[in-house]
Amino acid sequence: MFKLKCDDFLTKDEETGAYTMSPDQQVRDEVEKTRWKEIAFKLVTDWRLYLMLVPMLFVYFFWRYLPMTELTAVFKDYYSNTADPASGAWYGLENFITVYFTGGQQYTTEFWMSFRNTFILAFYGLLFGFPFPIILALFFNEIRSNVVRSIVQVCVYLPKFMSIVVISTLAITLFGTNSSTGAQGVVAQLLTAICGENSSLGQIAGNIDAANGSGLVYSTRYFRAIYIVTDLWEHAGYDSIVFFAAIIAVSPTSYEAAQIDGAGKMQQMRYVVIPSILSTVVIMLIMKIGSLLNVSYEKIFLFSTTGGGEAAPMGNYETAYVVSVWANAQSNSVYAMAGEMTNNLLGMILVIGANIVSRKATDVSLY
């Protein structure tokens, strides 16, 4: 066990018995003074850049950190002051216990079902959504024509800049049913036309699309796949920018050395490109894990309306009911806060854990 000794900081004069600062400590003090001088010099030299940080710090403090003071409401008795739960009587962890264990069908059962759905959607999103932008960036790197590459990149980046309403409407148009007109989704019509109404695939598409006036997007069986595919289509292109930037930073001499050794395109990807961008991949993976449980409430909500704008018969209730939807449906805001805080705390734990594992395994970490 490491122990501090007096000799680490002081030197004793054997003749007088007096203590003076040790040479090692003098060196440490000089290094510390030099470090603070360097920081002060950078602040004075680059004051314009630091001044630009002030608006961002202002926004973060007043819109991100200051509202966190209201999170104390989750430890208060909601019914003692419904107008201002944060000023209620101290309740300890009782609200969490109610949500986790004793809340019955309305709170406990539905919370754990929503948490399971959130975790499954998030897991599939990470499993398919994280590698795909890397693969996309590798493909961009192999396109030799700058014009063709630019056109392809614009096409795959475009969905990111579309409204979530547009994305959801496109998905409903493809996979859903307009309950006002009874019109089937394009995908269901296509499957029926290709396979025939009497085929097993045609019957599945037709039956699901006609069931309760809903559609494939509202079915328990297909909702998760449609959600992941639309999410992948929306984000994959934009997320590939970071990886593509890391790839084009790889030195051309590395490719030349690999070619001299007889490496083909796939071998260059495996032995040159991927090891060169590994640190970027690890950092992005840690950041992705941090938002693992943040499933889009807006898309889930929009998927619960039909093509005609009416509320859909929630045939996908068992798979689409996530924590954010559960929280917004609660009349007791404190229980909703407890559920959402569970998501946030788990996200923080996952980030810290992933960072520790990454630092030990690859020497790459966020901090």
Helices 146-157 & 131-142 angle (0-180, nearest 10): 160
312 versus 163: the higher-pLDDT residue is: 163
Lowest mean pLDDT among 200-204, 254-258, 335-339: 200-204
CA distance 352 to 55: 28
- pLDDT at position 19 is 63
Q: Is 160 part of a structural domain of the chain?
A: yes
DSSP-assigned beta bridge partners for residue 184: 177
Q: How confident is the model at residue 184 (pLDDT cuts 50, 70, 90)?
A: low
Mean pLDDT for 171-182 is 67
Q: pTM (2 decimals)?
A: 0.76
Report CA dihedral (198, 202, 204, 205) to the nearest 10 degrees. Answer: -140
Give the structural domain span for 317: 111-330
CA distance 103 to 94: 11
Residue 181 CB partners (closer than 8 Å, separation 6+) = 307, 308
CA distance 144 to 272: 18
Q: Where are the alpha helices (DSSP H) in 130-199?
A: 131-142, 146-157, 164-175, 186-195
DSSP-assigned beta bridge partners for residue 21: 10
Which CATH number belongs to the domain containing residue 155 in this structure?
Answer: 1.10.3720.10
List Cα–Cα distances, 198 to 11, 34, 195, 204, 210, in angstroms: 95, 82, 8, 10, 15
215: left (phi over 0), alpha (psi -120 to 50) or beta: left
Which H/E stretch holds residue 19? strand 19-21
CB 176 within 8 Å of CB 306: yes
Q: What is the DSSP string of 347-366?
A: HHHHHHHHHHHHHHHHS---
Q: How confident is the model at residue 246 (pLDDT cuts 50, 70, 90)?
A: very high
The amino acid occupying position 315 is G
Q: Is 85 part of a structural domain of the chain?
A: no
Residue 109 has pLDDT above 60, yes or no: yes
Residue 204 has pLDDT above 60, yes or no: no
pLDDT, tens only, 257-315 = 999 988 888 899 989 999 999 999 999 999 898 888 888 778 888 876 554 444 444 55
pLDDT, tens only, 7-17 = 555 666 666 66
- pLDDT at position 322 is 79
User: Which of these, 64, 86, 69, lies nearest to 77 by C-alpha position?
Assistant: 86
CB 216 within 8 Å of CB 176: yes
pLDDT, tens only, 2-61 = 444 445 556 666 666 666 666 666 666 676 777 778 888 888 888 898 899 899 999 999
364 versus 59: the higher-pLDDT residue is: 59
CA distance 166 to 163: 5
Q: Is 72 part of a structural domain of the chain?
A: no
Mean pLDDT for 79-86 is 67
Q: Is 147 part of a structural domain of the chain?
A: yes
Mean pLDDT for 109-115 is 88
116 versus 3: the higher-pLDDT residue is: 116
Q: Is 4 part of a structural domain of the chain?
A: no
| Number of domains within the chain | 1
Give the number of C-alpha atoms closer than 13 A to the C-alpha of residue 67, restricted to the C-beta side.
6
User: Which of these, 314, 311, 307, 130, lies nearest to 223 by C-alpha position?
Assistant: 314
- pLDDT at position 72 is 84
Q: Is 86 part of a structural domain of the chain?
A: no
Compute the mean pLDDT over every residue in the chain, rounded to the nearest whole number: 80
Q: Length of the chain in residues, anyone? A: 367
Residue 107 has pLDDT above 80, yes or no: yes
- pLDDT at position 17 is 61
